[in-house]
């Protein structure tokens, strides 16, 4: 895909990650609100509320800076979901240590963490999160008893521990199931995208998508300048191939031609089936000289193919080449390339014909 297309897709993904982070940040705000209510009824000290609030603020500012500057893209999981939920679980443990009578907040806090984890984590990562939650909860309860030095009510502690263990286990199982559904959905979406953008026979871009890519490149050229050329490619005497050998051989010929052309193109060049035996190639950043050399390579590579039952019969192509003019519309550029292709056919086929640039209008 061209840089403009792939970069715009990455921008959209990064925007989704940032929104997801903002949603997670809002849960911190709710947590602080409930802590403030606890402080209001003297279940949690104001000093500890301020300490937790500053910690949450610092964490969120740091994470926001990471997402905003794209530093998250350096990690295997750019969403940083596991890091965020681990920090959240650790903060819950700190709150349980600082507050003698706020362990009832553990359940809603942990629940929100697992709901957030459902969005991204895989089953084994969810299991590790559950273990981390149980360990940090147990350590927090033990430290709290040491700090406040009050004899624990074992009945209440056991009930809370059981609730945390069972609820975290249930959330982990539910999140694991949702994760598997999400993976299946992602696979289905990718298959649909493949069907929507790829030609089923040649596996190059289909007409709709190559039109979209051409329009994207024209917009990029209008925005930042640079060279842009297109090639309209047509197989010579393709009807006679179908008539003589049948459509299966014709289909195999189209596939071989498409594959051979792909090997002669750069990674940023785009090849699409325009219709029937006709292909469109978009060459971003290619000058007319660059595009001409590319077209000549395409001619030689196709002529070297031996895909027909009769080895003496060669497959050849004709190419109409057009350089994009300033402010030229997609339809006008395609029409010039198509006219050049017709010219190549008229001149004997198996050759490249170049369209002249349209005159620049004087304002």
The residues annotated with a catalytic role in the active site are 277
Buried-state track 246-255, b at ≥16 Cβ within 10 A, e below 16: eeeebeebbb
DSSP 236-288: TTHHHHHHHH-HHHHHHHHHHHHHHHHHTS-TT-EEEEEETTEEEEEEET--H
Q: Which is it for the CA torsion 50, 54, 56, 57, positive or negative?
A: positive
- Complete DSSP assignment for 285-342: T--HHHHHHHHHHHHHHHHT---SSSTTSPP-EEEEEEEPPTT--HHHHHHHHHHHHH
8 A C-beta contact, residue 232 and residue 340: yes
A 10 A CB-CB count for 81 gives 21
The whole-angstrom separation of Cα 251 and Cα 239 is 12
d(CA 198, CA 206): 5
Cβ proximity of 29 and 8 under 8 Å: no
> CA-CA distance, 67 to 81, in Å (whole number)?
12
Taking CA atoms, 303 is separated from 104, 194, 299, 317, in Å, by 77, 30, 6, 8
**What is the C-alpha to C-alpha distance for residues 221 and 285, in angstroms, rounded to an integer?**
9
């Amino acid at each position: 895909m061209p840089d403009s297309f792939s970069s715009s897709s990455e921008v959209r993904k990064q925007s989704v990650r940032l929104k997801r982070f903002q949603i997670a940040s809002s849960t911190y705000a709710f947590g602080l609100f409930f802590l403030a209510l606890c402080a209001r009824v003297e279940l949690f000290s104001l000093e500890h509320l301020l300490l937790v609030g500053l910690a949450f603020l610092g964490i969120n500012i740091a994470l926001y800076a990471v997402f905003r500057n794209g530093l998250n893209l350096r990690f295997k999981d750019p969403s940083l979901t596991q890091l965020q939920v681990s920090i959240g679980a650790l903060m819950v443990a700190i709150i349980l240590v600082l507050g003698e009578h706020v362990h009832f907040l553990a359940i809603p806090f942990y629940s929100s963490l697992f709901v957030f984890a459902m969005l991204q984590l895989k089953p084994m990562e969810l299991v590790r999160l559950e273990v981390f939650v149980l360990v940090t909860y147990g350590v927090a309860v033990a430290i709290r008893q040491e700090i406040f030095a009050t004899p624990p009510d074992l009945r209440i502690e056991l009930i809370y521990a059981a609730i945390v263990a069972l609820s975290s286990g249930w959330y982990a199982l539910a999140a694991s199931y949702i994760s598997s559904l999400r993976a299946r959905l992602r696979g289905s979406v990718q298959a649909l995208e493949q069907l929507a953008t790829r030609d089923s026979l040649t596996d190059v871009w289909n007409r709709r998508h190559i039109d979209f890519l051409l329009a994207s490149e024209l917009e990029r050229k209008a925005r930042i300048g640079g060279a842009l050329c297109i090639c309209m490619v047509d197989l010579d005497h393709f009807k006679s191939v179908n008539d003589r050998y049948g459509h299966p051989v014709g289909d195999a010929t189209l596939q071989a031609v498409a594959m051979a052309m792909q090997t002669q193109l750069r990674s940023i060049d785009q090849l699409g089936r325009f219709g029937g035996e006709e292909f469109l190639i978009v060459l971003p950043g290619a000058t007319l000289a660059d595009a001409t050399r590319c077209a000549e390579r395409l001619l030689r590579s196709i002529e070297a193919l031996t895909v027909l039952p009769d080895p003496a019969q060669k497959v050849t192509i004709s190419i109409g080449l057009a350089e994009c003019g300033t402010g030229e519309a997609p339809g006008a550029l395609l029409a010039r390339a198509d006219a050049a292709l017709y010219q190549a056919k008229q001149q004997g086929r198996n050759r490249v014909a170049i369209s002249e640039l349209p005159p620049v209008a004087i304002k």
